[in-house]
Chains A and B, each alone.
Chain A
Amino acid sequence: MQNLTPVFALVAREVKRFQKIWLDTVVSPIMSMILFLAVFGVVSGGRDVAGIPYLAFVYMGLLTMTMVNASFSNPAFALVIAKNVGTFMDLQITPVPPWGVGLAYAFAASIRGIITLLIALLATVWFIPISGVANPLLLIVSVVLIGVAFGMLGVIFGMYAKNFEALTFVMTFIIQPMIFLAGTFYSIKQLPGIWPTVSLFNPMHHAVNLVRYSVTGYADSAPMVSLAVMAVFAVAIFIPMQWITTRNLKAS
């Protein structure tokens, strides 16, 4: 049995790191939630999507988006900062194995994602026409899975990027389109042609779908399929994460 102390210590360190920037963790997601909700609230004018109030529908998308953003950007930025200030070397000289480095950052990321989600929820749920959570257990499983999976994606880009420009590029051209083409703000059933099918290949769609289904009971596509996709996504993404982490920790 391998000694896991180094990995847990790294998780604890990364959790501590974002605790130090409470304001970032709390204020910016709440701000963007409120702004989005205000806009959508006005625009929707009380319409329904697929039988549930539009505000409730889009709210689930916004919560997921907030969480995914937090889970992704936490490790990505932490790693790029570490490279720029030199603390990346801490990861290289200590005996934390590459898989441990990757997973530690991903777990810390999921913790940040979940905390952000809860805070955003507490701050805004009072204005939303939602009555209870349809499937709490599935919600918990989904949220952890989503946090870790997008955390690992964040680790990959954090390892890959040398500077903030590269990260911003990734956020703008990969993460944002993933979010906007996921059925976050609309039902993918409303899309024309092949787009509903294309959306099924977007992990973000399944993330949103899972959270929305767990809370409201409404799903765009089969929730168990989404759960399976998220699980496969999480497992599959471990491989490139392991590869790029190993390469970065020990340069050739």
Chain B
Amino acid sequence: MDALSVSHVSKTYRQKKKGAVPLQALDDVSLTVKPGEIHGLLGPNGAGKSTLISLIAGIIRADQGKIEVFGVDVEKETEKAKVLEGIVPQEGVYEMAFTVREVLYYFSGMYGVPIAERNPRIDKALEDLALSDKADERARGLSGGMKRRLMIAKALIHKPKLLILDEPTAGVDVALRQKIWELVRRLRDEGTTILFTTHYLEEAEQLCDRITLINHGRIIKEGNLKEIQKEFSKNVISFELFDRNVPHLPNVTPEGSEFHYPMKELEADMQAIASHYNGNLKSVRSEAASLEQIFLTLTKD
């Protein structure tokens, strides 16, 4: 069973202003997230990422299509599905009067966590997110990064099976970003499935098992990150030699100061080149496409 299955979902926002064209934010979107994976949802501003997350979270209604979380239909069994999900929204949510502990106490209760279990869980979450010393401070008075951590703690407090983070590292300093990555990886290792969005592509490269690229409300690519990278790589190994006049491997062609060799399987081919030219090899490289290049290629209008 998939952790998340979105099939043929469309969403058009009705516009308030009369005469304005209704805005189709999602157009026949399908994607699956497998249990135990970290899945990156990537796309430019306005692509429809947050809209998709709102639909999965059950905050807005889809025009058509079906969304299931671990087999539970979000539309038909909303409450049951919501318990399985933990949501970190893109926009900050600030409790006016409550302390950090109070925020987590009532929020976990609203997820059905029994009273006796709340405080131990809160202590654990605060420790995980390095907020223990802020427990009794007003949530409103926290710094931006701390508020972000509180939002993550809120999403984790009921131990969701699917954790959804909408730009968890936006506006977060380097150290905290590393911490969040660590936490995400650890949660994955403990069995939590993770779907997150980010505009930092190197972050997606670091973390994701699979990614989905979305643009103008349509899925333009979904799959294993490594495979996508392979698909977009220039399928060639370039190398330089000290002595150019030697017997070459078949299919090697000169290209300026370099030679090119058509690549089938990176490691085996590298090995073949290394053993053939041996000490004559000055340098060798293969250009794997960066996610950034792939992203730009695919989202070019």
Q: Do residues B61 and A250 form an inter-chain contact, with CB atoms below 8 A? A: yes
Residue of A with least CB distance to B91: A86
Q: Given A5-B109, A10-B110, A86-B91, are A95 and B78 also a contact pair (CB < 8 Å)?
A: yes
Asked if B268 is at the interface of the complex by the 8 Å CB criterion, the answer is: no
Q: Do residues B109 and A9 form an inter-chain contact, with CB atoms below 8 A? A: yes
Asked if B277 is at the interface of the complex by the 8 Å CB criterion, the answer is: no
Residue of A with least CB distance to B88: A93
Bound CA span A10–B94, Å: 17
Q: Do residues A85 and B59 form an inter-chain contact, with CB atoms below 8 A? A: no
Residue of B with least CB distance to A250: B61
Bound CA span A9–B108, Å: 8
Asked if A87 is at the interface of the complex by the 8 Å CB criterion, the answer is: yes
Bound CA span A21–B98, Å: 11
Chosen A-B contacts, 11 in total, with CB atoms closer than 8 Å, are A9-B110, A16-B106, A86-B93, A87-B95, A87-B96, A89-B93, A95-B79, A95-B80, A95-B111, A95-B112, A250-B58
Q: Do residues A6 and B59 form an inter-chain contact, with CB atoms below 8 A? A: no
Interface hits, B112-154 → A, CB 8 Å: 112-114
Mark A6-44 against chain B: 1 for CB-CB distance below 8 A, else 0: 101110110011001100000000000000000000000
User: What residues on A are CB-neighbors of B108 within 8 Å?
Assistant: 9
Q: Which of B14, B83, B85, B112 has the most CB of A within 10 A?
A: B112
The 10 closest A-B CB pairs, nearest first, are: A9-B109, A13-B106, A94-B110, A95-B79, A95-B82, A20-B97, A86-B93, A252-B61, A92-B59, A5-B112
Residue of A5, A10, A87, A93 touching B87 (CB-CB under 8 A) = A93
Q: Which of A10, A21, A81, A94 has the most CB of B within 10 A?
A: A94
Residue of A with least CB distance to B58: A250
Bound CA span A16–B96, Å: 12
Residue of B with least CB distance to A17: B97
- Taking the closest CB of chain A, its distance from the CB of B13, in whole angstroms, is 9
User: What residues on B are CB-neighbors of A250 within 8 Å?
Assistant: 58-61, 78
Q: Given A6-B112, A95-B82, are A90 and B58 also a contact pair (CB < 8 Å)?
A: no
Instruction: Show the binding face of B for A, using Cβ within 8 Å.
Output: 14, 57-61, 78-80, 82-83, 85, 87, 89, 91-98, 102, 106-114
- Taking the closest CB of chain A, its distance from the CB of B102, in whole angstroms, is 7
- Taking the closest CB of chain A, its distance from the CB of B91, in whole angstroms, is 6
User: What residues on B are CB-neighbors of A97 within 8 Å?
Assistant: 78-79
User: What residues on B are CB-neighbors of A188 within 8 Å?
Assistant: none
User: What residues on A are CB-neighbors of B87 within 8 Å?
Assistant: 93
Known: A21-B97, A87-B95. 17 other contacts (CB 8 A): A3-B112, A5-B112, A6-B112, A12-B106, A13-B110, A20-B98, A85-B94, A86-B92, A86-B93, A90-B107, A92-B57, A92-B59, A93-B57, A95-B112, A97-B78, A97-B79, A252-B60
